[in-house]
Amino acid sequence: AHVRPLPRPPADVVTSVRVAWDGRTAVLAAESPEEPSHVLLCDLTSGTYRYAAGAGRLPVAAGAELLRFPARDGLELAAWLYRPAHVHGPAPFVVSLHGGPEDQERPTFNPLYQNLLAAGIGVLAPNVRGSGGYGRAFRRADDLALRFRAVEDVADCAAALVRTGAADPSRLACMGWSYGGYLTLAALVTHPRLFRAGVNMSGIADFETFYARTEPWIAAAAVSEYGHPEADRDLLHALSPLRAFDRLAAPLLVVHGAQDTNVPVHEARQAFGAARARGVPCDLLLFEDEGHEFRNRANRISLVSKVLNWLDEHLRPSPH
């Protein structure tokens, strides 16, 4: 068989590819930060692409640039930097942490990011250690006690962001979904003066209660990454953000689905209650009809609106 590379598709990310039965045409689902998912047809003989379906590029959407930098131990990290347009000087920014931890942040279309950017809030979306796409050693570099280094990666991402000159170091926030929600909580209590606000979506707050309530198959899969609930009890205690909530200082928005069986909603209620008990400003957005991921369109719109308003409120310039 003859192998011939095709020209780069006119999109940043190809999410799926299907080849026609005759081998002459490929159908690609693709997207970019400025353009939602759309369909491209590729003539495999000529290597030309044709736009087949989609809403088109959004004229006000912002693109992403790749940022590479070393963590404090020398490990190279990468992140996607989204700069808000029409903002003069250092801007407020949010460090956005993906789930997994083996997921990979890619420059796809993200409605939340684009709404934040339109409001003048920049986004840094990193792939901290443990992320997929960078080899097996990188993916395993946060297992068990190495998890503490992933938490430090969040602080190193913030430092790298500030070094670019794009961000105001006094107006940083941290947010994340699922594992990213856990990492957000961990970063907030490990570096309580670094971030002005946090958003935890569907994240673990305490490993003891997580293991006790999650699906058995999820608990079994989590042992090799986080630790065994009995044999590694001390480690899991030290890794649990809730056990260090006396250090929480940043206002916290907690978002969760009431039907979540991966990370049960008890995690959200614990975090919300503990923050309130400490007198830290905290709000809880609970979707009664959602699970671990938020599927309902109206709920997703509500989520974007709530997160945008929360960050806009807490990242305003400090009064002189």
pLDDT band at 112 (very low <50, low <70, confident <90, very high): very high
pLDDT band at 319 (very low <50, low <70, confident <90, very high): low
Please state the rounded mean pLDDT for residues 237-260: 98
pLDDT band at 88 (very low <50, low <70, confident <90, very high): confident
pLDDT for 25:
94
Considering only CA atoms, which of 43, 38, 33, 46 is closest in space to residue 16?
A: 38
HEC string for 1-39: CCCCCCCCCCCCEEEEEEECCCCCEEEEEEEECCEEEEE
pLDDT for 242:
98
Helix, coil or strand: residue 209: helix
pLDDT over 70 at 284, yes or no:
yes
pLDDT for 23:
87
pLDDT over 90 at 4, yes or no:
no
- Structure tokens, 123: 């986004």
The per-residue pLDDT of the chain, averaged, comes to 96
CATH 3.40.50.1820 in the chain is located at 65-314
**What global pTM score does this model have?**
0.94
**Four-way CATH pick for 65-314: 3.40.50.300, 3.40.50.1820, 1.10.357.10, 3.30.1370.110:** 3.40.50.1820
Q: What is the pLDDT of residues 31-75, one digit of tens each?
A: 999 999 999 999 998 989 999 999 999 988 999 999 999 999 999
pLDDT for 320:
58
pLDDT for 293:
94
Summarize the chain as % helix, strand, coil (round to 5): 35, 25, 40
Within 10 Å of residue 145's Cβ, how many Cβ atoms?
Answer: 12
pLDDT for 144:
97
Please state the rounded mean pLDDT for residues 175-189: 98
Q: What is the CA radius of gyration of the chain?
A: 21
Quote the CA–CA distance of 197 and 170 in Å, as a whole number: 11
pLDDT for 86:
86
pLDDT over 70 at 297, yes or no:
yes
Please state the rounded mean pLDDT for residues 148-168: 98
